[in-house]
Amino acid sequence: MKVLVTGGAGYIGSVMVSMLLEKGHKVKCLDRFFFGNESLKDIISDSNIELIKDDVRWFDPSILKNVDAAIDLASLSNDPSGELNPSKTYDINYLGRLRVAKLCKEYGVKRYILASTCSVYGFQENVLNEESATNPLTTYAKSNVLAEKDIVQLADKQFTVTVMRQATVYGLSPKMRFDLAVNGMTLGAYKNKNIHVMRDGTQWRPFVHVKDTSKAFIAVLGSQKEKVNGQVFNVGSNEQNIQILSLAKLVEETLPIPIKLEWYGSPDKRSYRVDFSKIKRVLGFTPSYTLKDGAREIYEALESKKITDSIKTRTVEWYKYLLEVHKLVQDVVTRGTVL
Ligand SMILES: NC(=O)c1ccc[n+]([C@@H]2O[C@H](COP(=O)([O-])OP(=O)(O)OC[C@H]3O[C@@H](n4cnc5c(N)ncnc54)[C@H](O)[C@@H]3O)[C@@H](O)[C@H]2O)c1
């Protein structure tokens, strides 16, 4: 298959693109490269990958000719980044992705997969499944809900649309993100021998390893269209719903150094738990990695200096820097806009 991956140089994208290539797919990676494209350096010379530096809001749609499937990962990828400039978040995360989906349909791309998030559920008492009401609390989550709603409606016999609501992702990637809970806790343990735990630690959150979420997207590509067309899937596993204090203790017991847990913040009761039965039942998806695997591999990569914690690994700080300091001179000149 020839697969377009938007945001393919990102934290999830750079892992997913490698896995697609390993499976023999051809990949077109469309990315604005806000974080650069070093994450793809090991595969850049592969004749089956084509890099396209462009923006989902205005790329030339002729790149969609002969593409079989699209995996739409590009977005401002967390809640705080989404609040830096809400109108740009709405333009990229909602309208930009709707544009990708509509153009895919127009150009005869057969399948489209939207990378959404379990944060569309907001914080709720019950265990939430795909039928539960959404409760988006931030610009990021609201844009995802809007994108899901309008894009699912494009599904028909010729155009298979699937929405993937991912749990919070963890694990090693060529483009690290330390603003994600497991990764950030492991970094804190490695650097300062402590883990900051948000009070009161009883909050539930769902998690999935970066290779497992990639595996789930690839499973959708290969599945019968009747099983996935117009469908929404929570991506993760019931076993990896965990309370924040338990997660901190799990990271502490996994790593080979003494670590102190330190509380911060005022008591935060915002909690949610997600039911992942549907993806297991319909796609046979089960994760191959555990939270301990994630903490361990990140710790080892930090120790061996394979990864470091530059500002680019903290999403909101990097976007702030792009907006306020660096000003992306070249992009301002060519497009009249920084983000
Ligand atoms: N990482 C998680 O825990 C998580 C959880 C749920 C959902 N998601 C979603 O999965 C997707 C991928 O997340 P990630 O963690 O890899 O994020 P990321 O920030 O590491 O990667 C996003 C990529 O998209 C690119 N991009 C951003 N705006 C663009 C635009 N306008 N045009 C073209 N490219 C653009 C960036 O340059 C970057 O390479 C995102 O949509 C995110 O919201 C991520």
Q: How far is the CA of 158 from the centre of ligand 1 (A)?
A: 27
CATH of the domain at 148: 3.40.50.720
Token pair, residue 123, equals 């914080």
- The number of the ligand 1 atom at minimal distance from the alpha carbon of 9 is 39
Output the residue whose Cα is nearest ligand 1's atom 26.
74
Ligand 1: residues whose CB is within 6 Å? 6-7, 9-13, 31-35, 55-57, 73-75, 77, 92, 96, 115, 117, 166, 168-169, 175, 177, 180, 315
For residue 52, the model assigns a pLDDT of: 98
C-alpha 257 to ligand 1 mean position (Å) = 32
What pLDDT shows up at residue 314?
97
- 339 residues of the chain, pLDDT tens digit each: 999 999 999 999 999 999 999 999 999 999 999 999 999 999 999 999 999 999 999 999 999 999 999 999 999 999 999 999 999 999 999 999 999 999 999 999 999 999 999 999 999 999 999 999 999 999 999 999 999 999 999 999 999 999 999 999 999 999 999 999 999 999 999 999 999 999 999 999 999 999 999 999 999 999 999 999 999 999 999 999 999 999 999 999 999 999 999 999 988 778 899 999 999 999 999 999 999 999 999 999 999 999 999 999 999 999 999 887 655 555 555 555 656
Instruction: Say how many Å lie between the CA of residue 261 and the centre of ligand 1.
Output: 30
Total structural domains within the chain: 1
Instruction: Give the pLDDT confidence score for residue 58 in this predicted structure.
Output: 97
C-alpha 291 – ligand 1 centre gap (Å) = 21
Domain span including residue 160: 2-335
106, 63 in Cβ contact below 8 A? Answer: no
Prediction pTM value: 0.96
CB of 105 within 8 A of CB of 70? no
Which atom number of ligand 1 is nearest to the Cα of residue 180?
3
Q: What angle do CA 195, 200, 205 make, to 5 degrees?
A: 75
Compute the distance from residue 56 Cα to the ligand 1 centre, in Å: 12
* pLDDT at position 310: 95
CB 74 within 8 A of CB 113: no
Q: What pLDDT is attached to residue 323?
A: 85
Expressed in angstroms and rounded, the spacing between residue 78 Cα and the centre of ligand 1 is 8
* Residue 33 Cα: closest atom of ligand 1: 37
Closest ligand 1 atom, residue 35 Cα = 37
CA of 80 to the centre of ligand 1 (A): 13
Tell me which of 12, 16, 55 to substitute to probe ligand 1's pocket, judged by most ligand atoms within 8 Å of the beta carbon: 12
CA distance 76 to 27: 22
Atom of ligand 1 nearest to the CA of 72: 41
> Tokens 């930009």, residue?
96
